[in-house]
Amino acid sequence: MNIKNYINGEFKNPILDNWIDNYNPSNGIIYGQIPDSTKEDVENAYSAAKSAFSSWSQTTLEERSRILIKISELLEANLQRFAEAESKDNGKPVSLAKAVDIPRAASNFRFFGNAITQFASESHESVGQQAVNYTLRQPIGVVGCISPWNLPLYLFTWKIAPALAAGNCVVAKPSEVTPMTAYLLGEICNEAGLPKGVLNIVHGLGGSTGQAIVEHPNIKAISFTGGTATGAHIAKVAAPMFKKLSLELGGKNPNIIFADCDYEDMLNTTVRSSFANQGQICLCGSRIFVEQSIYDKFKSDFVNKVKALKVGHPSQKDTNIGALVSKPHLEKVKEYIQIAKDENGTILCGGNEVTITNYENGYYLEPTVIEVQNDNCRVNQEEIFGPVVTIMPFSNEDQVLQMANKVKYGLSATLWTNDLKRTMRMSNQLQAGIVWVNTWMMRDLRTPFGGVKASGVGREGGFEALRFFTEAKNVCIKY
């Protein structure tokens, strides 16, 4: 199936008629093609967005809200179709797409459809100066949204929904590896009555189509989620044009387990935080540190649970671990398993490719647990972004804090303990944008979301996202 660009409410072939193959990770088969869009396609998307802006930015908040909530409802009504499409494109279990990805995409539209009606700005009376200042929060204009392949529609809509709610028009590009649900979203937007040109979706490679969005002189803000190297490159290109930038980048998150935690809850959640979505979530706790006194017990219990996870075809109901997203990504993850061996890490379980009958060319890998000798090794420092975690013991709070913070990333951290004082001390000192205590990936869309250090700049979520997608203007009136 060939997918098309969505420009000015219409589905269009790329101008140069160049196409990229789209693979199904569960069987390695090319099942369609996507536009290899050029600068000219991006220019058409920009023109459509620009033409739509004056009307959309003046559309009442109630009307914008109504349309966004309608999109949300239509996504919910099409749950099965979208979940199957997401799974086919990405390799994740259909059950996961159905429980997490698509419901969350719907929530993104509903949340920001509601949030915009509550978004307020300040006024300051300048006492003694007979003046009043008020702040206008005006939409930026045409903005660019670029998203990765791991949670395709979930992260695509996490950017688009607040951008639209705030009154901007959008040129968006999903990952070329997982374009399908973004394509289907166009249909839903038309059905929901989103005016033509308000949202435009251009497909293609990062280095050409994505680059054209970032380089476009009149696309004034870029919201990007993806790898740290790409984020650094985008920052370089955008800086001389003084674009507003939100960068959500890689992670290498610590999962710190103290002996006083609720053990069973911790164990079950740790299996999930290690391997959900084949470990391809930027928030996965990929470095597990366990207090020495329970280390041996944890090691044995954890490995037994991981061995029981079923690697299988994404459409099968009992599959826990589906296929990795692509052949190159599978190769990259396997390379890290080799690096772990070369660094004298011990593979406690997993480490091998899995062959599934009838789907022999799919990209399947066993969930892998590596015991490392020290926290400086490459598998403990570099983002692998696959079904691979490291474990090692620690002896005290200071030591684990130091190890937890000793990576270039700072996205999230998980802490398992029932000691309140320790929770407070460690939450204050962990270098991360999010600290989960006795839970993982529990999300409230009102909270600020983002990372520190090489995990990014800026915050998404709640009013933070609406602030990003608006310019604050101070008006000072003397009376």
Catalytic residues: 248, 282
Question: Helices 420-429 and 397-405 meet at what angle, rounded to 10?
Answer: 30
Nearer to ligand NAD, 151 or 437 (CB): 151
**Three-state DSSP state, 388:** strand
| Subset of 403-432 contacting ligand NAD (CB under 6 A) | 411
Task: Give the nearest residue (CB) to ligand NAD.
Answer: 206
The CB-of-20 to ligand NAD minimum distance in angstroms stands at: 11
Decide if 238 contacts 218 (C-beta within 8 A).
no
**In angstroms, what is the minimal distance from the CB of 331 to ligand NAD?**
14
Nearer residue to ligand NAD within complex by CB, 250 or 314: 250
207 is a site residue for ligand NAD (CB under 6 A): yes
Find the binder of ligand NAD among 186, 367, 456, 461 (CB under 6 A). 456
And the tokens for 361?
């060319």
Cβ atoms 80, 98 nearer than 8 A: yes
Helix (H) / strand (E) containing 68: helix 61-77
Q: Mention every residue, 6+ apart, whose C-beta is less than 8 A from residue 10.
A: 196
Q: Is 282 in the site for ligand NAD (CB under 6 A)?
A: yes
Residue 98 corresponds to which tokens in the numbers above?
Answer: 């159905």
Largest CA distance in the chain: 80
Q: Is 103 helix (H, G, I), strand (E, B) or coil?
A: helix
**Is 327 near ligand NAD (CB under 6 A)?**
no
> What is the per-residue binding string for ligand NAD in 64-83, x denoting contact by CB under 6 A?
--------------------
- The pairing of strands 244-248 and 456-457 is antiparallel
Q: Quick one: which of 312, 451, 461, 462 contacts ligand NAD (CB under 6 A)?
A: 451
Asked whether position 214 contacts ligand NAD by CB under 6 A, the answer is yes
Residue from 142, 146, 238, 465 binding ligand NAD (CB under 6 A): 146
**Structure-token match 């270098």, residue found:** 431
If one asks whether residue 328 binds ligand NAD (CB under 6 A), the answer comes out as no
DSSP state of 198: S
Nearest CA to 283 out of 420, 63, 432 is that of: 432
Q: In this complex, which beta carbon is closest to ligand NAD, that of residue 65 or of residue 431?
A: 431
Size of site (CB under 6 A) for ligand NAD: 31
Residue closer to ligand NAD, measured from CB, 155 or 198: 155
Q: How many helices (H) and strands (E) does the chain have?
A: 16, 22
Binding residues for ligand NAD (CB under 6 A) = 146-150, 155, 173, 175-176, 206-207, 210-211, 214, 225-227, 230, 233-234, 248-251, 282, 383, 385, 411, 451, 455-456
